Every structure is written in C-alpha cells, then in structure tokens.
Amino acid sequence: MTINRQRRQSAASAPGATPEAIIRINDAGHLGAEGPASLAGVVERGDARGRELGFPTANISVPHADIPDGVWAGTVQVEPATHGNTYLAAVSIGRRPTYYRKGLRLLEAHLLDFNANLYGLTVLVTLHVHVRAQRRFRDTEELVTQIRDDVNYVRSWAAEYQQ
Ligand SMILES: Cc1cc2nc3c(=O)[nH]c(=O)nc-3n(C[C@H](O)[C@H](O)[C@H](O)COP(=O)(O)O)c2cc1C
C-alpha cells in the first residue's frame, strides 16, 4: 500500500485502536502543537534479527533526543529527492531493551507490504501517531506477538487516514 498524500490524523478515531498517547511533533523535531515529525537518514545495516523475527526493519540513527522512544504509526518515503514511493510503516525508536541492557538508540522502520533491500538509500520517516512505549519483553515470542498487534494498529490507522 502506498500513501501519496498527507493530512493530520487523530489516533483516537482509528478503529479498534487504543494508542497510549497522541504526540504531535513539528518539522524541526520538537514536541509541539504542529505535527507530524519527519526525519531523514541513510539506511544502516542492522544485526539482521528483524528478518528472523519476520519483521525486517530499515534502521537509521535518531539525532533528535526530544523525539520520545516508543512505537509509532508512520510512513516512509524511499529516496525523497527523486520522489520515491511512500509506504506505511510500524516504527520503533529506542534501545531494544528485550535484547540489550544499554543498546544503541535506533529508529527502526518495518515497512508494510514491502520486501526489498534499502541499505544505503535515503529514507524520509514521518511519525504520525505514538502508539506505545518501548518495553522489555520476556522473550522473542512475546515481542513478535506485540509487533503483530502494532502492525495491525498501523493498518487500521491507515484505513482511517486514507478516507
Ligand atoms: C514495530 C516494532 C516495535 C518494536 N518494539 C520493541 C519493544 O517494545 N522492545 C524491544 O526491545 N524491541 C522492540 N522492537 C525492536 C526489535 O527488537 C528489533 O527490531 C529486532 O530486535 C531486530 O533488530 P535489528 O533490526 O537490529 O535486526 C520493535 C521493532 C518494531 C519493528
């Protein structure tokens, strides 16, 4: 699924969704009344665990300390300079506490309905709705169950967003 237009969206109205918070961030990456926030970066190599979990991610570093950790309903545009396609994404920002005590802070975007290698390409990630905090899960199975719910949330949010 691709999305080519942007408009403001209230998470509270997304069907079946119970987001933890609705956070608006302006274009400079600061929390504020204006939203949503966009961050561009070159996709880096992850440790490939995402693919094993069934949820491969495009990873970029997060320079804005004031963007809160957590999981977001987002969109990702590939190569924005040449107006590449935009995809829905479940975006995780944080230190992956399930696997690391003090992991590197990363933005990881799982693009929905997309299966190609993005290493070295520039992506523009837009964070629309803060869905939940990053958590430490007991095991991989619990994390995968939660990510599946996150992806379902993003789809229901998008169904509303595209109307
Ligand atoms: C939608 C989504 C939600 C995530 N939520 C969490 C989380 O709450 N806690 C956590 O430890 N890791 C979370 N992760 C990160 C995964 O641990 C990570 O993607 C996985 O370990 C693969 O890492 P890799 O990209 O370095 O291979 C999430 C990832 C995604 C895509």
Token duo for residue 107: 């933005």
- Burial zone of 130 (CB within 10 Å; 0-12 exposed, 13-18 middle, 19+ buried): buried
- Distance from the alpha carbon of residue 95 to the mean position of ligand 1, in angstroms: 9
Residues 6+ apart with CB under 8 A from 32: 24, 25, 26
Which residues' Cβ are closer than 6 Å to ligand 1? 46-50, 53, 55, 57, 59, 71, 90, 92, 96-99, 108, 110, 134-135, 143, 147, 150
Q: Whose alpha carbon is nearest atom 22 of ligand 1? A: 50
Q: What pLDDT was estimated at residue 25?
A: 42
Structure confidence at residue 99 (pLDDT): 93
Question: Can you give the pLDDT of all 163 residues of the chain as single tens digits?
Answer: 333 333 333 333 333 333 333 344 444 444 444 557 888 999 998 777 888 899 999 999 886 667 888 999 999 999 999 999 999 999 999 999 999 988 889 999 999 999 888 999 999 999 888 899 999 999 999 999 999 999 999 999 998 876 5
Write down the pLDDT at residue 22. 38
Query: Into which CATH architecture does domain 19-161 fall?
Result: Beta Barrel (2.40)
Cα-to-centroid distance, 92 and ligand 1 (Å) = 6
Cis ω before 80 (30° cut-off from 0): no
Mutate to test the pocket of ligand 1, among 98, 130, 153 (most ligand atoms within 8 A of CB): 98
Choose one of 60, 100, 147, 152 to mutate for the ligand 1 pocket test, by most ligand atoms within 8 angstroms of C-beta: 147
Structure tokens given for 52: 């094993």
pLDDT of 147: 98
Model confidence, pTM: 0.82
Alpha-carbon distance of 118 to 79, in angstroms, equals 10
